[in-house]
Amino acid sequence: MAIRNVLKEGDELLRKRSKPVTVFDERLAILLDDMKETMREENGAGIAAPQVGVLRRAVIIDYEGETTELINPVISNEDGVVIAAEGCLSVDSKKNCNVARPYKLTCTAQDRDGKPVVIEAEGWKARIICHEVDHLNGILFIDKAYKEPPNATPQNQGTKASDEPPNGTPQNQGTEAGDNADGNKGKKTDG
């Protein structure tokens, strides 16, 4: 395993759509191992192949100490909306901002051997998956910076993890980038 350089905002590769993985071989295994080591070295909660200069649809997430590899991930069955701060290894931390993401989702993908994987995720784990899949489509979290509606009331602004809208769905998972209510305290949203 090796630690790879993490591309930074401004690198054109971060804005390109990644190609599907079609060959599940030793090269893919090496890429995934290197991504995992790089993510851990950088204290990230996830990392996508484009961030290390490889335009393939592969991401790794680390949630509550469990690392998950997702090849060719597809998100479906999104439910609820949560507004929370995000950060990214590829973007200067001064640009951390709130982003609206689904509270729950289903993600279908493949593992490193090409076997089907289905993940039901909610809260912070769902946020990490969305963030990483965005990278595969050339999208950075700053492209989705949440803007308060002009007539927002304190009830729907959600500034603390304890704030909840009337229907009981949590509206904010963390109070600052990399801090969340689901156990990934101190980790950057993105690897």
pLDDT for 1 equals: 81
- Does 175 or 105 have the greater pLDDT score? 105
pLDDT at 45: 97
**pLDDT (tens digit per residue) in 46-95:** 999 999 999 999 999 999 999 999 999 999 999 999 999 999 999 999 99
* Residue 110 CA to its chain's centroid (Å): 17
pLDDT of residue 169: 40
The count of structural domains within the chain is 1
Q: Quick check: is 182 in a domain?
A: no
- Please indicate, yes or no, if residue 75 is contained in any of the structural domains: yes
Task: Specify if 38 maps to a domain.
Answer: yes
**Is 139 a domain residue?**
yes
> Which residues constitute the domain of residue 118?
12-147
What is the distance between the alpha carbons of residues 183 and 164, in angstroms, rounded to a whole number? 19
Q: Let me know if residue 184 belongs to a domain.
A: no
CATH number for the domain including 123?
3.90.45.10
- Within 10 A of 149 (CB to CB), how many other CB atoms are there? 9
Residue 35 belongs to a domain = yes
Sheet with 66-79: list strands edge to edge.
46-48, 58-63, 66-79, 104-110, 116-122
Residue 130 falls inside a structural domain: yes
> Cβ distance 191 to 39 under 8 Å?
yes
Residue 170 lies in a domain: no
Task: Report, as residue numbers or ranges, the catalytic residues.
Answer: 132
